Homo-oligomer: A and B are copies of this chain.
């Protein structure tokens, strides 16, 4: 879930699986920061993941940058218009 680039894509899994990915990534690489990316309904999950990680596990972690935006998604089968979907990025940095 977390690759070498320090990005974790948040989807439909339970929040704790992403929390574990973040903890693993930060401790394995001695990394100081990690970025969560989410789209649509997963945006709420991304905030949960950031808050659980910060409050329960890595207390010196701060949300140092939060960006919101919009992405155009290709039309689903049977539809002929592309859809706009909201996006969010949360950068977490260890102090």
The contact of A43 among B47, B55, B70, by CB within 8 Å, is B47
Asked if A58 lies at the interface with its beta carbon under 8 angstroms from chain B, I say: no
Asked if A66 is at the interface of the complex by the 8 Å CB criterion, the answer is yes
Q: How large is the interface on A (under 10, 10 to 19, 20 to 34, 35 or more residues)?
A: 20 to 34
Is A68 engaged at the interface, CB distance under 8 Å to the other chain?
yes
- Beta-carbon contacts of A23-47 to B below 8 Å, as 1s and 0s? 0000000000000000011111001
* A44→B40 contact, CB < 8 A: yes
In the assembly, what is the distance between CA of A68 and CA of B68, in Å? 13
Do A47 and B86 have beta carbons less than 8 Å apart? yes
Contact at A51–B90, with CB atoms within 8 Å?
no
Contact B63 A90, beta carbon cutoff 8 Å: no
Cα of A42 to Cα of B70 in the assembled complex, Å: 17
Q: Using CB atoms and an 8 Å cutoff, list the residues of chain A in contact with chain B.
A: 40-44, 47-48, 50-51, 55, 63, 66-70, 84, 86, 88, 90
